[in-house]
Amino acid sequence: MTAQFTRRQALATLGLGAAALAGGTVPSACAAFRRRPNVVLFVADDLGSVDLRCYGSKDLLTPHIDALAYSGVRFSQFYVTAPACTPSRASMLTGRHFPRVLRLGHGINPAETTIAEMLKPAGYHTACIGKWHLGFDDGMYADDQGFDEFFGHRTGAMDNYSHHYYWGGPDRHVMWRNKERWHEEGSYFPDLMVRESVRFIEQNKDEPFFLYMPFNIPHYPIQPDPAARERYGHIENASRREYAALVSTLDDRVGMIMAKLEELDLRDNTIVIFLSDHGHSTEERSGGGGSAGILRGGKMTLWEGGLRVPAIISWPAHISGRQLRPQPVTALDLLPTLAEFCDVPLPQVEIDGASLASVCASDEASSPHDALYWVYKEDWAVREGPWKIVGQGDDIFLANLALDPTETIDHAKSHRHVQNRLVDLHNRWILKLSQDANVASQAPAPHRRRAGRGRGPE
């Protein structure tokens, strides 16, 4: 009998599924036996690919998120499925590519199953506190999609003090508590998020809970906590200085939630996940203070700087700390990972992600994906092994990320056989998507090779 089988037997005896095998120990499983793990999902808004100290930043101060990283697994090639807020978050919450789950211009199809709807039948109390941005019609708000409670703004950019929409007109108030407008003009929204989240944790500390905290920062409007500004007087570039203060504003508030979990002795059996919804913004309103380091591109592009994000999974009871995982994985994997860790059934639909339990447990585990696929507006991309192809209209760019993570050397002409294979993968994926009844009317078109772009020699 192997040691692992012994551990599996022991966990089965305790009533825990195979999920609990993810690098854990039997003694810590005893705590989990009392109840399923809590889940806290932190999402940063437009945080750059390297904009944490634990991801190599030299000028940002992010001690709380760094501590979270050191308590668990930090991923160095974690991708989101789209370089924009709504499609990225829609995939993350459903485990399915966003063309399958989004009704364009409206939000997540109510027929889809979110992480909250997956966990609720197992007795989880669920809350979404922050920026929803995943449904704009009746029946498509957070409290219609599996969250017992919602506090925050349903739409995108919101002024953190007036709680009015930051884009366009007419000027309008956009903060809600469930189905009621909520007015606290003058109160700083990130602090309201912490207040409401702490209340939710305290109220549900004796039952399993899922707290989804989609922060609205460091997305513009660039309105950092004045106390955080004081740490960065030495940064000369004003855009970077303001962005840095906003990242620290985020870090401080992550720290406040972590402190509450510690105070209530909930930390060990709480799965805490942190990621950014995509890369840094270069929009004029953002000031352009974020960074992707050596990576190309940012928000709204399919280059690495738009898609590769900081990502952490921490569960002290079952996952070892100070782990770095280089395997290419994706936000699609979070729902199936949580299904396994929380021992709940997957939704009865095709899930595009796969559980990361084995990857969390071992740096020798393979990525669950042979290839990764993206589409965004007219652009598309595929990654297979070190190769990544980016299509923009008729233009094709083929990078070898192992040799050139900056995506500056184009191998499209010199490696036609690779290019053709990845184009075929993309087209097969598009064909599969288009067969899904949910997306038949809005699926992107396959790529058509231009004349002369045949299967040439390498």
Closest CB to Ca ion among residues 198, 295: 295
In the complex, the smallest distance separating the C-beta of residue 338 from Ca ion, rounded to whole angstroms, is 21
Asked if 159 interacts with Ca ion (CB under 5 A), we say: no
In whole angstroms, how close is the CB of 134 to Ca ion at the nearest point?
12
Give the active site residues. Answer: 85, 133
Site for Ca ion in 52-111 (CB under 5 A): 85
Which residue, 46 or 196, is less far from Ca ion as judged by CB?
46
Q: Which is nearer to Ca ion, 180 or 284 (CB)?
A: 284
Q: Does 157 bind Ca ion (CB under 5 A)?
A: no
Nearer to Ca ion, 47 or 361 (CB): 47
CB under 8 Å to 415, separation ≥6 — which residues? 387, 398, 458
Nearer to Ca ion, 280 or 325 (CB): 280
Q: Which helix (H) or strand (E) holds 13?
A: helix 3-13
Q: Which of 42, 70, 55 is nearest to 295 (CA)?
A: 55
Report residue 243 as tokens: 């962005």
Whichever of 85 and 129 has its CB closer to Ca ion, that residue is 85
Which CB, 239 or 434, lies closer to Ca ion? 239
Shortest separation between residue 130's beta carbon and Ca ion, angstroms: 12
CB contact set of 291 (below 8 Å; sequence gap of 6+): 48, 49, 50, 51, 57, 280
Between the two ends of the chain, the Cα-to-Cα distance in Å is: 50
Look at residues 96, 15, 92, 1 and name the one whose alpha carbon lies nearest to residue 309. 92
Sequence-separated (6 or more) residues with CB below 8 Å from residue 308: 49, 77, 78, 79, 279, 292, 295
Tell me how far CA of residue 209 lies from CA of 115, 295, 322, in angstroms. 12, 37, 26
Q: How far is the CB of 306 from Ca ion (least distance, A)?
A: 11
Q: Which residues make beta-bridge pairs with 387?
A: 384, 400
Q: How far is the CB of 217 from Ca ion (least distance, A)?
A: 10
Buried b (16+ CB within 10 A) or exposed e, 65-84: bbbbbebbbbbebbbbbbbb
Pick the closer one to Ca ion by CB: 218 or 353: 218
Verify binding: residue 45, Ca ion, rule CB under 5 A. yes
Q: How near is the Cβ of 372 to Ca ion at its closest, in Å?
A: 20
The interface mask with Ca ion, positions 223-262, x = CB under 5 A, is: ----------------------------------------
Structural contact between residues 438 and 400, judged by C-beta atoms closer than 8 angstroms: no
Exposed, middle or buried: residue 346 (CB in 10 Å: 0-12, 13-18, 19+)?
Answer: middle
**Which residue stretch of 38-46, 254-262, 300-308, 332-340 sits at the interface with Ca ion (rule: CB under 5 A)?**
38-46
Buried b or exposed e, range 87-117, using 16+ CB within 10 angstroms: bbbbbbbbbbbbbbbbbeeebbbbebbbbbb
* Nearest alpha carbon to residue 289 among 221, 196, 381: 221
Of the candidates 193, 173, 194, 197, the one whose C-alpha atom is nearest the C-alpha of residue 185 is 173
Closer CB to Ca ion, residue 46 or residue 352? 46
Q: Are 372 and 426 in contact (CB under 8 A)?
A: no
The CB-nearest residue to Ca ion is 85
Amino acid identity of residue 119, one-letter, is L
In order, the DSSP letters of 185-227 are: TTS-HHHHHHHHHHHHHHHTTTS-EEEEEE---SSSS----HH
Q: How far is the CB of 411 from Ca ion (least distance, A)?
A: 31
Query: Segment near Ca ion (CB under 5 A), from 44-52, 148-156, 243-251, 425-433?
Result: 44-52
Using CB under 5 A, which of 24, 39, 46, 159 touches Ca ion? 46
CB of 176 to Ca ion, least distance (A): 19
**185 CA to centre of own chain:** 30
- Looking at residues 321 to 380 of the shown chain, list those that interact with Ca ion (rule: CB under 5 A): none
Judge whether 126 and 212 are in contact, CB under 8 Å.
Answer: yes
Residue 444's nearest CA partner among 197, 100, 170, 19 is: 100
Least Å distance between CB 79 and Ca ion? 15
**Residue from 51, 277, 304, 333 binding Ca ion (CB under 5 A):** 277
Q: Which residues bind Ca ion (CB under 5 A)?
A: 45-46, 85, 277
